[in-house]
Amino acid sequence: MKKEFNDTGLCVPNMHYMVNTSKQINEIFNNLIERGKYFTINRARQFGKTTTIFLLSEYLKKKHDYFVIRTSFEGIGDEIFKDAEEFSKHIVEIMVETLHATSLPESYDEKFTNETFKHLKTVTSLKILSRFITEFNQKLNKKVVLIIDEVDKSSNNQLFLNFLGMLRDKYLLRNEGSYYTFHSVILVGVQDIKTLKLKIRDGKEVKLNSPWNIAVDFEIDLSFKPDDIVTMLDDYTQDTGIKMDKKAISEKLYYYTSGYPYLVSKLCKFIDEKIITQRKAQNWYTDDVEIAYKLITAPDYQTTLFDSLFKNLQGYEELHKTVKYIVMGGLSLSYDTYDPIVNFGKIYGIFKNDNGICKIHNRIFEQRIYSYFITRTIRENALKQPNFHPDFYYKDELNLKFILQKFQQFMKENYSYKDEKFIERKGRLLFLSFLKPIINQRGYEFKEPTVADERRMDIVITFNQKRYVTELKIWRGAEYHKTGLQQLSDYLDIYSLKNGYLLIYDFNKNKQYKDEIIKFKDKEIFAVWV
Q: The CATH number of the domain where 264 resides is what?
A: 1.10.8
Looking at residue 88, which CATH number applies to its domain? 3.40.50
1 inside domain: no
Between residues 492 and 456, the one the model is more confident about? 492
Is there a single domain that holds both residue 267 and residue 389? no
Are the CB atoms for 246 and 237 separated by under 8 Å? yes
Indicate the SS3 state at residue 444.
strand
Cα 402 to Cα 408: distance, rounded to the nearest angstrom: 10
* Structural domain span for residue 441: 385-530
Statement to judge: residues 389 and 483 lie in one domain = yes
- Asked if 182 contacts 146 with a C-beta cutoff of 8 angstroms, the reply is yes
Integer CA distances (angstroms), 422 to 229, 419, 472, in order: 43, 5, 16
| Residue 394 and residue 527 in one domain | yes
User: Which residue would you say has higher pLDDT here, 193 or 341?
Assistant: 341
Boundary (domain end) residue, out of 296, 317, 345: 296
Q: What is the pLDDT of residue 195?
A: 59
Residues 12-20: what's their mean pLDDT? 95
Domain annotation covers residue 218: no
Assess whether 98 and 167 both reside in one domain: yes
Query: Is the Cα dihedral 221, 223, 226, 231 positive or negative?
Result: positive
Last residue of a domain, which of 380, 401, 417? 380
Residues 266 and 175 occupy one common structural domain: no
Q: Is pLDDT above 80 for 201? A: no
pLDDT tens-place string over residues 115-170: 776 777 788 899 999 999 998 998 888 999 999 998 887 766 788 888 999 999 99
User: Is the model's pLDDT at 453 over the cut of 60?
Assistant: no
Same domain, 356 and 252: no
- Strands annotated E in 367-477: 393-394, 397-398, 443-447, 459-463, 466-474
261-311 pLDDT, tens per residue?
A: 999 999 999 999 999 988 877 899 999 999 999 999 988 899 999 999 999
Whether residue 509 is predicted with pLDDT greater than 80 in this model: the reply is: no
> What is the pLDDT, as a whole number, of residue 151?
85
Does pTM surpass 0.75?
yes
- pLDDT level of residue 380 (50, 70, 90 thresholds): low
Q: Which residue has the higher pLDDT, 331 or 106?
A: 331
Task: Give the total number of structural domains in the chain.
Answer: 4
Task: Give pLDDT tens digits for 408-431.
Answer: 888 887 765 555 565 656 777 788
Mark out the alpha helices in 141-181 (DSSP H runs): 158-176
**Pair (53, 169) in one structural domain:** yes
Residue from 107, 94, 101 nearest 142 by CA:
107
CATH number at residue 361: 1.10.10
Of 401, 412, 414, 528, whose CA–CA distance to 472 is shortest? Answer: 528
**Domain-embedded: residue 274:** yes
Q: Are 85 and 124 in contact (CB under 8 A)?
A: yes
- 436: in domain: yes
In a domain, 13, yes or no: no
Rounded Cα–Cα distance for residues 184 and 43 (Å): 19
Give the mean model confidence (pLDDT) for residues 323-341: 86
Rg of the chain (C-alpha set): 28
Going by pLDDT thresholds of 50, 70 and 90, the confidence category of residue 448 is: low
Q: Please, what is the average pLDDT of the chain?
A: 85
Angle at 298 between CA 427 and CA 457, to 5 degrees: 40
Whether 508 is in a domain gets the answer yes
Q: How confident is the model at residue 37 (pLDDT cuts 50, 70, 90)?
A: very high
Domain boundary among 276, 296, 316: 296
Instruction: Identify the DSSP state of 103.
Output: -
How much is the pLDDT for 207?
Answer: 46
- Identify whether residues 181 and 88 lie together within a single domain: yes
Q: Same domain for 370 and 392?
A: no
Kindly report, residue by residue over 68-122, the tens digit of the pLDDT.
999 988 767 677 778 899 899 889 889 888 887 776 655 555 666 667 767 777 8
Per-residue pLDDT, 109? 54
498 and 456 in a common domain: yes
- How far apart are the C-alpha atoms of 525 and 499, rounded to whole Å? 6
Q: Classify residue 355: in a domain, yes or no.
A: yes
Q: What is the Cα–Cα distance from 486 to 409, expressed in whole angstroms?
A: 27
Q: Cα dihedral angle (255, 368, 349, 15), rounded to 10 degrees?
A: -70
Rounded-to-integer distance, Cα 283 and Cα 304, Å: 30
In a domain, residue 138? The reply is yes
83 Cβ contact partners less than 8 Å away, ≥ 6 residues apart: 159
Task: State residue 461's pLDDT score.
Answer: 84
Q: 413 and 290 in one domain?
A: no
User: 330 with 420, same domain?
Assistant: no
Query: What does each C-alpha distance from 152 to 8, 47, 95 come to in angstroms?
Result: 19, 15, 21
